[in-house]
Amino acid sequence: MAKGSKLLQLTGRFPMHHGGFLQEPVIAYETWGTLSEHADNAILLFGGLSPSAHASSSPQNPASGWWEDMIGAGLPLDTDQFFIVCINSLGSCFGSTGPASVDPATGERYRLNFPALTLEDVAAGGYEVLKHLAIERLHTVIGCSMGGMSALAFCTLYPNAAHGLILISSAARALPFAIAVRSLQREMIQKDPKWLGGNYDPADPPLVGQRLARKLGMITYRSAAEWQQRFGRERIAGEGDPATPFYGDFAVESYLEAQANKFTGQFDPNCYLYLSRASDLFDLAEHGGSLQAGFAKMRLQRALVVGVTSDILFPLQQQRELALGLENNVSRVRFEALDCIKGHDSFLADMDAFRPVVSRYFDD
Amino acid sequence: MAKGSKLLQLTGRFPMHHGGFLQEPVIAYETWGTLSEHADNAILLFGGLSPSAHASSSPQNPASGWWEDMIGAGLPLDTDQFFIVCINSLGSCFGSTGPASVDPATGERYRLNFPALTLEDVAAGGYEVLKHLAIERLHTVIGCSMGGMSALAFCTLYPNAAHGLILISSAARALPFAIAVRSLQREMIQKDPKWLGGNYDPADPPLVGQRLARKLGMITYRSAAEWQQRFGRERIAGEGDPATPFYGDFAVESYLEAQANKFTGQFDPNCYLYLSRASDLFDLAEHGGSLQAGFAKMRLQRALVVGVTSDILFPLQQQRELALGLENNVSRVRFEALDCIKGHDSFLADMDAFRPVVSRYFDD
């Protein structure tokens, strides 16, 4: 769990969208800023697959958050003006209940006994936090990447819970390319002999599979153009394992190695599998039978959709589809195509491009 | 070995470009059509990483070849007119000497004792076949994908050995994106416990790693747009392993599974590792210190460069770079950007688009 996260302990059964339930799950969240008297200045933030609720530093946890340059006094998510809530997705492993948590019914970790997870469940977890905080209607709900699909689920399931919506580098549903990538990442983990059908030793997890999956992730999170600028064909003397004739001395190989080392060990493999699959399964069209029907369920006044030209995982055409879909039902929709080079990760790595766009939404 | 391949047994030491040598290696090749009296109608064909020399069916081997719709009477590589030679790359496992072959010095398979392999070595293998066939100057050398880099090496090392050059979906050197993909594929194989540092049992090879690598290959060989058209979010009832909640019932997952099953078992893992690394290592700029110097070494009269808009592994910008580089030194260069949807594999899967372009070159 991220230091400084608040924990909301739910009572009773939490029904899951695809069947089954969780007994008294916990939702972890963090907040920044102050809720106004009329509780009308709240922003709810759904993150991507891997981050915790620690989107920004706080007195309780001064470590940088994953959107450090977006949240704070004078920043686009201005803590002098707004009350910002970021949740750790249900199914994750940073405080919220997930497959790595202990099932109170058995006293054992859920592992693969965790019920099928959907982003509708993640949205429901966020909604519980809002009820707990006595927030009836959000100023804006924001979702980045997978979190954008959680935000779409949220606006569909709770049509009156948000006034505005910001979707960043997301989609109404995954393309088969993204499904193929995530499916292969899951297979890498499941084929690691240490996965043991989900019953791995938490002290000795399937790190090899997790590292491979993370490397494939990085290949799809960034862009070929960025790597050409950044690495080209540069070689790093002394890198790699000279015991094989295939050792990785290209700078880009060394970079992937460093990225894999940074990520793995932090994230529970079963939680990853559940959230990854949930990303494949989400389809706005399942809310009513078509994308159009899904969009029609929402009761939003405003929306902003932002995407990046170099994103191969959630490509720009999917942002355009979101904007067009929203335009039929929302009076004010803005679509921004940013010409960032850092691919899908631009919303984390190219804040100078994203800040003005998000600022403009809140200044309006 | 592919049935019907001819084997050229070289004598003495075959020096390798990055040092070391092979003792009396074999180069496998196939031919179609008849060599003219003046030996001036020969075409040499270098294929991609995985195929054998069996580019087209023949009386000796009636099975379809990998370029069946390009080679034959009345086809662009017209066997009534040309004598076509396709070689199996040195380092491969379809007749030519590679890491899976027995080292005559030890009586054991080379495995990782095979010297470092480069595409210059592959080119030298092709040149030996031409010498054997008493062909002094080719009408045209053709290279597809990795074979395009072998063809560039060939034209640089043997400047007078070809009159014309056709490069299809290739590059002057790999981009870091392609290096990252191939490096990860190699790691998947090497991390399979059955790889055993290259000393796997040939009857029980690291199939799990090979299958993962093949799936990643397919993700980069095709295109997101093709899969969206072809699969969308279609589900296949009864597919996947229902024992896990992450089972692969999306049509695209089923497709990858079928592709992995088709490929693995055929290709030797160590051969794959050597050829994959050779693809990363090739850099035309190493021939003279710059790309410009590399192109300047060639003595070509004509060139055709073909690429595909949806290729993410050898993107169109790399074909443009090839065409521009050749234009400085070759009087007639044609560049064709094909709007095919099937990605890098279009040169194998979209023959209706490629045939007219190749025909036009030979009709000129």
Using CB atoms, pick whichever of B173, B183, B228 lies closest to residue A233: B173
Q: Determine whether the interchain pair A224/B183 forms a contact, defined as Cβ–Cβ distance below 8 Å.
A: no
The residue type found at A301 is Q
Average pLDDT on B182-202 reads 97
Average pLDDT on A276-303 reads 98
| Phi, psi (degrees; rounded to nearest 5) at B338 | -95, 135
Using CB atoms, pick whichever of A114, A176, A227 lies closest to residue B227: A176
Q: How far is the C-alpha of B35 from the C-alpha of B133, rounded, in Å?
A: 9
Average pLDDT on B117-130 reads 98
* A96 and A25 Cβ atoms separated by less than 8 Å: yes
Using CB atoms, pick whichever of A250, A273, A280 lies closest to residue B179: A250
Q: Nearest-CA neighbor of A44 among A168, A150, A141?
A: A141
A337: pLDDT strictly greater than 80: yes
Q: Residue A238 — very low, low, confident or very high, per pLDDT cuts 50/70/90?
A: confident
In chain A, list all ranges with CATH 3.40.50.1820: 6-174+283-363
Q: How far apart are the first and last CA of chain A?
A: 36
Determine the distance in angstroms separating the CA of A131 from the nearest CA of chain B, rounded to an integer. Answer: 30
List the single residue in A with minimal CA-CA distance to B177: A224
* B244 and A198 Cβ atoms separated by less than 8 Å: yes
Q: Which two tokens stand for residue A110?
A: 């859920």
- How many contacts does A have with B, using Cβ atoms within 8 A? 145
Q: Determine whether the interchain pair B216/A216 forms a contact, defined as Cβ–Cβ distance below 8 Å.
A: yes
When scoring B183, B190, B221 by the number of chain A Cβ atoms within 10 A, the one with the most, hence best to mutate, is: B183
List the single residue in B with minimal CA-CA distance to A182: B253
* CATH class of this structure's domain B6-173+283-363: alpha beta
Q: Determine whether the interchain pair A219/B180 forms a contact, defined as Cβ–Cβ distance below 8 Å.
A: yes
Using CB atoms, pick whichever of A180, A215, A252 lies closest to residue B219: A180
Chain B residues near residue A218 by CB distance under 8 angstroms: 180
Q: Residue A243 — very low, low, confident or very high, per pLDDT cuts 50/70/90?
A: low
Q: For A105-123, give one letter per residue: b (16+ CB within 10 A) or e.
A: eeeebbbbebbbbbbbbbb
**Alpha-carbon Rg for chain A in angstroms:** 20
Q: Determine whether the interchain pair A175/B276 forms a contact, defined as Cβ–Cβ distance below 8 Å.
A: no
Q: Which segments of chain A are extended strands (E)?
A: 6-9, 13-15, 21-23, 26-32, 42-46, 71-72, 77-78, 83-87, 102-103, 108-109, 138-144, 162-168, 302-308, 332-338
Q: Determine whether the interchain pair A224/B312 forms a contact, defined as Cβ–Cβ distance below 8 Å.
A: yes
* B293 and B285 Cβ atoms separated by less than 8 Å: yes
Helix (H, G, I), strand (E, B) or coil at A173: strand
Chain B residues near residue A256 by CB distance under 8 angstroms: 180, 183-184
| Phi, psi (degrees; rounded to nearest 5) at B17 | -60, -35
Chain B residues near residue A219 by CB distance under 8 angstroms: 177, 180-181, 184
Q: How far is the C-alpha of B284 from the C-alpha of B119, rounded, in Å?
A: 10
List the single residue in B with minimal CA-CA distance to A174: B233
Q: How far is the C-alpha of A188 from the C-alpha of A213, rounded, in Å?
A: 6
Q: How far is the C-alpha of B18 from the C-alpha of B121, rounded, in Å?
A: 9
List the single residue in B with minimal CA-CA distance to A173: B233
Q: Nearest-CA neighbor of A1 among A100, A70, A122?
A: A100
Check residue B239 and give its pLDDT.
Answer: 67
B141: pLDDT strictly greater than 90: yes
Distances (CA, A) of B331 to A57, B43, B83, B358: 62, 20, 25, 18
Using CB atoms, pick whichever of A114, A191, A215 lies closest to residue B208: A191
Q: How far apart are the first and last CA of chain B?
A: 36
Q: How far is the C-alpha of B262 from the C-alpha of B264, rounded, in Å?
A: 6
Using CB atoms, pick whichever of B179, B228, B274 lies closest to residue A252: B179
- Residues making up chain B, counted from first to last: 364
CB atoms within 10 A of CB B74: 8
CB atoms within 10 A of CB A4: 18
Write the CB contacts of B297 (distance below 8 Å, at least 6 apart in sequence): B155, B156, B159, B287, B288
Tell me which of B344, B345, B346, B350 is the catalytic residue: B344
Does the annotation mark B344 as catalytic?
yes
B38-90 tens-digit pLDDT: 999 999 999 999 999 999 999 999 999 999 999 999 999 999 999 999 999 99
Mean pLDDT of chain A: 96
Percent of chain A clearing pLDDT 70 (strictly above): 98
Distances (CA, A) of B143 to A252, B302, B322: 26, 14, 13
DSSP symbols for B124-163: HHHHHHHHHTT--SEEEEEEETHHHHHHHHHHHHSTTSEE
| Phi, psi (degrees; rounded to nearest 5) at B300 | -100, 150
Q: Nearest-CA neighbor of A181 among B243, B312, B161?
A: B312
Q: Residue B240 — very low, low, confident or very high, per pLDDT cuts 50/70/90?
A: low
* A123 and A149 Cβ atoms separated by less than 8 Å: no
A92-147 tens-digit pLDDT: 999 999 999 999 999 999 999 999 999 999 999 999 999 999 999 999 999 999 99
Q: Is B314 exposed, middle or buried (0-12, 13-18, 19+ CB in 10 A)?
A: buried
Chain A residues near residue B248 by CB distance under 8 angstroms: 183
In chain A, list all ranges with CATH 1.10.1740.110: 178-272
Chain B residues near residue A114 by CB distance under 8 angstroms: 245
Give the lowest-confidence range in A67-81, A170-184, A350-364, B237-251. B237-251
Chain B residues near residue A277 by CB distance under 8 angstroms: 245-246
Q: Residue A364 — very low, low, confident or very high, per pLDDT cuts 50/70/90?
A: confident
A246: pLDDT strictly greater than 70: yes
What sections of chain B are H helices per DSSP?
119-132, 146-157, 176-191, 207-221, 224-230, 251-263, 269-281, 291-296, 316-327, 346-349, 351-363
* B72 and B56 Cβ atoms separated by less than 8 Å: yes
* CATH class of this structure's domain A178-272: mainly alpha
Using CB atoms, pick whichever of A193, A233, A283 lies closest to residue B283: A233
B2-30 tens-digit pLDDT: 678 999 999 999 999 999 999 999 999 99
* B256 and B73 Cβ atoms separated by less than 8 Å: no
B273-314 tens-digit pLDDT: 999 999 999 999 999 999 999 999 999 999 999 999 999 999
When scoring A121, A184, A244 by the number of chain B Cβ atoms within 10 A, the one with the most, hence best to mutate, is: A184
In chain B, list all ranges with CATH 3.40.50.1820: 6-173+283-363
How far from chain centre, in Å, is Cα A307? 15
Check residue B266 and give its pLDDT.
Answer: 84
Chain A residues near residue B179 by CB distance under 8 angstroms: 233, 250, 252-253
Check residue A241 and give its pLDDT.
Answer: 66
Q: Which two tokens stand for residue B361?
A: 């070159």
| Phi, psi (degrees; rounded to nearest 5) at B165 | -140, 135
* A67 and A56 Cβ atoms separated by less than 8 Å: yes
List the single residue in B with minimal CA-CA distance to A313: B224
Does the annotation mark B69 as catalytic?
no
Q: How far is the C-alpha of B299 from the C-alpha of B301, rounded, in Å?
A: 7
A271-285 tens-digit pLDDT: 999 999 999 999 999
When scoring A17, A246, A273 by the number of chain B Cβ atoms within 10 A, the one with the most, hence best to mutate, is: A246
Helix (H, G, I), strand (E, B) or coil at A140: strand
Average pLDDT on A82-95 reads 98
Chain A residues near residue B277 by CB distance under 8 angstroms: 245-246
- Residues making up chain A, counted from first to last: 364
* CATH class of this structure's domain A6-174+283-363: alpha beta
CA-based torsion, A128, A130, A133, A137: positive or negative: negative
Q: Nearest-CA neighbor of B362 among B164, B154, B168, B152?
A: B164
A341-363 tens-digit pLDDT: 999 999 999 999 999 999 999 99
Q: Nearest-CA neighbor of A129 among A50, A65, A52, A42?
A: A42
Determine the distance in angstroms separating the CA of B89 from the nearest CA of chain A, rounded to an integer. Answer: 18
A249: pLDDT strictly greater than 80: yes
Q: Determine whether the interchain pair A273/B208 forms a contact, defined as Cβ–Cβ distance below 8 Å.
A: no
Known catalytic residues of A are 145, 311, 344
Q: Determine whether the interchain pair A245/B277 forms a contact, defined as Cβ–Cβ distance below 8 Å.
A: yes
Chain B residues near residue A176 by CB distance under 8 angstroms: 224, 227-228, 230-233, 250-252
Q: How far is the C-alpha of A313 from the C-alpha of B196, rounded, in Å?
A: 34
Tell me which of B78, B192, B311, B345 is the catalytic residue: B311
Q: Nearest-CA neighbor of B323 among B339, B302, B342, B340?
A: B302
Average pLDDT on A137-165 reads 98
Strand B42-46 to strand B138-144: parallel, antiparallel, or no bridges (unpaired)? parallel
| Full-model pTM | 0.97
Give the lowest-confidence range in A154-163, B196-205, B242-251, B311-320. B242-251
Q: How far is the C-alpha of A71 from the C-alpha of A85, rounded, in Å?
A: 11
Determine the distance in angstroms separating the CA of B240 from the nearest CA of chain A, rounded to an integer. Answer: 11
Write the CB contacts of B219 (distance below 8 Å, at least 6 apart in sequence): A177, A180, A181, A184, B256
